[in-house]
Each structure stands twice: as structure tokens, then as C-alpha cells.
Amino acid sequence: MNKRNIAIIAHVDHGKTTLVDEILKSTGTFRENEDTSNISMDTNQIERERGITILAKTTAVNYKDYRINILDTPGHADFGGEVERIMNMVDGVLLVVDAYEGTMPQTRFVLKKALEARVKPIVVINKVDKPAARCKEVIDEVLELFIELGATDEQLDFKVVYASAVNGTSSLSPDITTQTKGFEGLLDYIISEIPAPSGSNDKPLQFQPALLDYNDFVGRIGIGRVHNGIMKVGQTVSCIRLDGTIKQFRIQKIFGFLGLKKIEIEKAEAGDIVAIAGLSDISVGETLCNPNELLPLPVLHIDEPTLQMTIGTNSSPFCGQDGKILTARKIEERLIKETQRDVSLKVEPNDTESWIVSGRGELHLGILIENMRREGFELEVSKPRVIIKEENGKKLEPYEELQIECPEDSVGNIIEQLGNRGAFMESMNNVNGQVRLVYTIPSRGLIGFTTNFLTLTKGYGIINHTFKEYKEMTNIDIGERNLGVLVSIDTGKATAYSLGGVEERGVMFIEPGTDVYEGMIVGEHSRENDLAVNVTKGKNLTNIRAAGSDHTVVLKRPRPISLEYALDYINSDELVEVTPHFIRIRKRILNTTERKKFDSRN
């Protein structure tokens, strides 16, 4: 059967996964009686809840006499390393662009990776059913981006398909009235435009994993493309490790892909994208060869982590009341298991009860913590901090490209905030009352900014950022919250009476009946200093009734605390306590007297 290997790339939420899901349905990949109402490439519960792709997914469809292997890639910057490695597995890409939003920061990032890898692009203008769709202007934007990124003449000669993935329709014309059910035009373009995979069955074996998976039964699974040769189950092969050493092993299983299923197969040929099991510590970028013909492929580049945080055992007074998994040994096992699947994650011991976990961004690390809490873990997490490099005696820190879209009335406050965080404005454009700002900003300037941004834009702003480069570190003091917090001095249940007296000092994070402990942060102070408060005090009851004094306390709604908000919010002297059902913010030093002594010394 003829083969085509493509990746679907795009900015966050431009419709990659929906498009793949609809292609699967339109090509008859599922049985007629199969329920396809909840079919999705995003299999992880968090992926479905948030509508984002976290891990790249592999699938395949049969169309005419062709097997089309499709890789659905993450759109978020924190998972961009996967996009880069996937380019080594495919010969073409579908660049999906929103018909209203046009080219965004991640569009630039993923397209740059595709053009560098010299793969053939097809552009899909998605969401053409939007009332505000502007197909012609967006095509011009895409063409400008191709030219700006140095595309070759061949790459500039790209085909365009117009689609509404959510409705399952497409056409080759920007005129929305020409949309028809299915994606035949797009699939025909894939066959005619994307070259067949290079490589030959007659040459010596070369297979290189670009992605990892993990299975409790067979251990680590390497997903990649067979560049040359034939690979069979039971065959003995040599693995050329990243350090140049060689390890022989026997291939236990080979998996192919069709629809949402992994299918066990007996052999894989040149050009096939498959998953293999048999080597417990197989890693991205290694080469599998015949033992007597060692021909290593170029090592794949893996993006270095830019952010780290400390994850440790829960040391709060409420430890063990909610979660089932508490011990340091279990937490370490879980973190090490995650590194088996995610090559962008690094874990190293900090002390006997905590570990320094490094990743590609707040979302990358936040997703790991969210998965662990859902599995029953109790954790204690520090404020995220950027990883500083040292080269030639100079300290270098990561910088990001930041793109913001916001209403005109909030621009002044945003520019002021970003100026204080060490950002440089690159451009500013006003389109129909929406202002688009492009900045270069130190990564540490973004920590805690998202929370402020949502407040400044009243929820109407859109923020996107992607890693740009390492530059010399500036001396600007950024990344700490300006306002102080309200800290409980007692342990017990919060009462409406005491909260009524405290809430005039700031914004509360808790409501009456919430269990609190000494050192737990219960609200945000309206001033810069921290304030110790008693939120558990009840009203002294007497047998004397005073007219008008027994009115019901009416409290404002507390501010909701999500995991992302808490990680963004805390300062370096604070921690987030994460349990399956609770997110609490606390001081590192819980005892009020000891904390005051420590603060006075610093």
C-alpha cells in the first residue's frame, strides 16, 4: 500500500484535533454502528476538559489505495519540543489557521520548525463558518509569514483548503456556499502534493524514536519512523545510544496505528510510522540498526527545560486527610515514571522529601501536578523559577515572544505592567478596537502576569507566548507579587462572624465553614505587607439582646483558587498544598512568631 506521512500543526485552539477527528469519521475508519459522538484524539481527561493537546498523537486512515499516517501535534509553546522532533518523521504538514484570528505566535513557531525541516506544507483555513471570518486577509498574512521565515519557492507554492472542522465540511474555494461534507479535496491534495516517504526496504535497518509512550506491561515504547530496511518482531537489533555506546536487544512487539487503535503487527517497512517495545530505557534520538551494520542517524534535538519548581511531600497539619498517596518513595516513583514518557522533563533530588522538577513552562509542570492530584497524591509545590544558564562568565536567562490582544481601554495598564516586568515592545497594531501588542519579555516576567492580565482586561484579553532565546540576565527585580496576604493565626473552622470583620482588609480566598490552620493564607491584603488574622473566632454570646446588632452577616463571594492561579500567585516564601480535592496556599514557616522573627532578620 502507498504511504503518506503528515503532521498537523497550528496555534492553540485553531482546530487541529477537531480536524483530525472529522477526517477519521469521513474516511470510514469507524464501523457503521460505532458511536462516534465522543470520538477524540485527545484521550487524556485534562486534554478534553481544557480543549488542548498535551501529547502528540499518532493515527492513520486508509483513503483510496493510500495509508495516510497523521500526527496531531500540541499547539501550546510548553509542548513545542514534540513538534520539532515530529518533523523528522513526516514529509509534509497541514498548517491550520483560524479564519478570523489569522497567524498567531505559535503559528510562527510551528511553521518555522516545518520550513527548517524542508517538509511540504498545505494550508488549511479553518473555522470559515465564523461570522467574522476574513479568509482573503488571512491568506495574505500566511504568505507574509512564509516569506518572513525564508520559505523556498517550492514551499511558497502551497495549496489552500477552506474548512469548517466542527461542521465536517471543506472546499477549495473561500466562498462559504461551496462547502460540502467530507474532506476529499484535502485528502487528494495530501496524495498529490506530499511526497512519498524516502527510504528503501533493501537498505540496512535504520529506525529512530522521536516520541515516547509508556505501558505497565511492556515498559517504555519508542514511536518513530522506519527510515530504511525492514523490522520484525523477535528480531535482534542494536541500539546506538546517545553517548555512542551500543546495546543489543530483541524486539518484543511492534504496533501500527489505524484510527484511534494501536494494532499489533509482525513487521514494519521503510516509511512506516510504528511503536516498538523491547528496550526498557529506549530514548528519543537513538538509532536502531542491524547488529552487523551500524549506521547511526543524526541525533534529534530536545529543547532544554526553562522553568523549574520544587515538588515535595505534604508537611501541612492537614496532611493525610484527603489523599491516599503521601510518601516520598511513591512521589519519587511517580516523577521518575513521568520522565519515561516525557523527555522534556527532568527530575533531580533536592533533599530526602523533595525534588527539583524542570520543564518547558508553567503549563507543562502544572499538568503533571494536576494529573498527580487526580491519582490521589498529596504534594507541596514551590513557586516556579526560571533556569539561569552561565556561559563565558555571563548569566543568561530565557526570553519569550509575547503576543497580546486586548480592548483599547486596557492597553495603558498592560503597557505599564509589562514595562515594570522588563518587557520590550516590538509592535502595536489596532484592528477594529482590538489592540495587538507584540513584546519580547524575560520568562520570569511572565510568572504571575497571567492573573493580573485577566483582571486588567476584565477577561476580554488573549495572551500567547513562546520561547525565543537565552539572553544576558537583567538586574530588574521582577516576578514577585506586590500585595501582601492575610494569614491565619489559628487552626479550626472559619466563621462568618470573623470573616465579616476581616474582609474589609482585602479579598478573601475562603468561606465560612472552611477548615484552616495556622500559617494558611486565607486572603489577599489590600496593602503591601502581610497581615496575621483570626478567622475562626465566634461571636461571644450573652443573654442580653441589643436592637439592630444581630443582623445577618452578608459576605462577598471569595476569590476561587485554581492550581494555575495558585502557582502564579505565590511568592518565594510561600507554598501551594495540593491534594485531590483541595488547593491551599500557605507560608513556608507556619508558626506566626517564628515567621515574624525570620522576616525581621531578612
Mean pLDDT of 424-442: 85
Residue 464: per-residue pLDDT: 74
Contact 299, 84 (CB under 8 A): no
Same domain, 153 and 67: yes
Task: Let me know: does 443 contact 400? Beta carbons within 8 Å.
Answer: yes
* Cell 483582571 belongs to residue: 455
Indicate if the pLDDT at residue 54 is higher than 60: no
Sheet-wide strand order for 531-533: 506-508, 521-525, 485-488, 531-533
Statement to judge: residues 184 and 283 lie in one domain? no
Residue whose C-alpha is closest to residue 83's, from 109, 59, 104: 109
Q: Which residue has the cell 522553568?
A: 307
Q: What is the mean predicted confidence (pLDDT) over 440-459?
A: 80
Residue 112 belongs to a domain:
yes
456 and 502 housed in the same domain = no
Sign for the pseudo-dihedral over CA of 262, 267, 272, 274: positive
Q: What is the pLDDT of residue 405?
A: 82
Q: Do 162 and 216 belong to one domain?
A: no
- Do 278 and 144 share a domain, yes or no? no
pLDDT higher than threshold 50 for residue 278: yes
Q: Quickly state the pLDDT bin for 56 (edges 50, 70, 90).
A: low
Cα–Cα distance for residue pair 149/116, rounded to 1 Å: 9
For residue 48, pLDDT over 60 is answered with: no
Same domain, 178 and 137: yes
Identify whether residues 337 and 436 lie together within a single domain: no
In a domain, 296, yes or no: no
What integer pLDDT is reported at residue 493 of this predicted model? 93
User: Lowest mean pLDDT: which of 29-43, 144-158, 210-224?
Assistant: 29-43
In a domain, 38, yes or no: yes
Q: What is the mean pLDDT of residues 81-97?
A: 83
Report the interhelical angle of 135-148 vs 105-116 (nearest 10°). 50
Q: What is the pLDDT of residues 363-374, one digit of tens each?
A: 778 888 988 998
Confidence at 518, pLDDT banded by 50, 70, 90: very high
| Nearest alpha carbon to residue 564 among 342, 331, 309 | 309
pLDDT > 90? residue 380 = yes
Model pLDDT, residue 9: 86
- Collapsing DSSP to helix, strand or coil, 272 comes out as coil
Same domain, 44 and 162: yes
Q: Please report which confidence band the pLDDT of residue 533 belongs to, taking 50, 70 and 90 as the band edges.
A: very high
* H or E element that contains 132: none
What is the percent of the chain where pLDDT is above 70? 89
Please report whether residue 573 resides in a domain: yes
Give the CATH number for residue 520.
2.40.50.250
Per-residue pLDDT, 315: 93
Confidence category of residue 404, pLDDT binned at 50, 70, 90: confident
> Looking at residue 260, which CATH number applies to its domain?
2.40.30.10
Q: Which of 79-93, 249-263, 349-363 has the lowest mean pLDDT?
A: 79-93
Average pLDDT over residues 396-401: 87
The residue out of 437, 472, 507 marking a domain boundary is 472
Question: Residue 15 in 3-state DSSP?
Answer: coil
What pLDDT score was predicted for residue 57? 63
pLDDT at 203 over 70: yes
Does the pLDDT at position 157 exceed 50?
yes
Average pLDDT estimate for 414-436: 85
pLDDT of residue 476 exceeding 80 = no
List the CATH number of the domain containing 413: 3.30.70.240
Residues 321 and 268 in one domain: no
Which range of residues forms the domain containing residue 320?
Answer: 307-386
Residue 38, pLDDT above cutoff 50: no
Count of structural domains, the chain: 5
User: Of 140, 163, 193, which residue is a domain's last?
Assistant: 193
- The share of the chain scoring above pLDDT 90, in percent, equals 24
Region 180-185: mean pLDDT is: 88
Instruction: Output the domain CATH number for residue 377.
Output: 3.30.70.870
Identify whether 457 is part of a domain: yes
b vs e for 281-308, b when ≥16 Cβ sit within 10 Å of the residue's Cβ? ebbbbbbbbbeeeeebbeebebbebbbb
Mean pLDDT of 322-326: 89
Say whether both 271 and 364 belong to one domain: no
Mean of pLDDT values over 322-327: 90
Q: Is the pLDDT of residue 41 over 80?
A: no
pLDDT band at 51 (very low <50, low <70, confident <90, very high): very low
β-strands 307-313, 385-386 pairing: antiparallel
CATH of the domain at 105: 3.40.50.300
Report the mean per-residue pLDDT for the chain: 83
pTM: 0.76
Residue 451: pLDDT over 50: yes
Largest CA distance in the chain: 99
Is 18 contained in some domain?
yes
At residue 53, does pLDDT exceed 50? Answer: no
Q: Place 523 in a pLDDT band, splitting at 50, 70 and 90.
A: very high
Same domain, 418 and 336: no
Helix (H) / strand (E) containing 336: helix 328-341
Domain assignment present for 105: yes
What average pLDDT does this structure show over 506-530?
92
Among 115-129, 332-346, 428-442, the range of highest mean pLDDT: 115-129
Q: Per the domain annotation, does 530 fall within a domain?
A: yes
DSSP track, 355-379: EEEEESSHHHHHHHHHHHHHTTB-E
| Listed residues 386, 411, 437: the one ending a domain | 386
Residue 231 burial (C-beta neighbours within 10 Å; 0-12, 13-18, 19+): buried
Least confident of 39-43, 168-172, 434-438, 476-480: 39-43
3-state secondary structure labels for all residues of 381-436: ECCCEECCEEECCEEEEEEEEEEEEEEHHHHHHHHHHHHHCCCEEEEEEEECCEEE
| Residues 454 and 519 both lie in one domain | no
Asked if the model's pLDDT at residue 515 lies above 90, the reply is yes
Average pLDDT over residues 421-435: 83
Does the pLDDT of residue 133 top 80, yes or no?
yes
Q: How far apart are CA 400 and CA 303, in angstroms?
A: 14
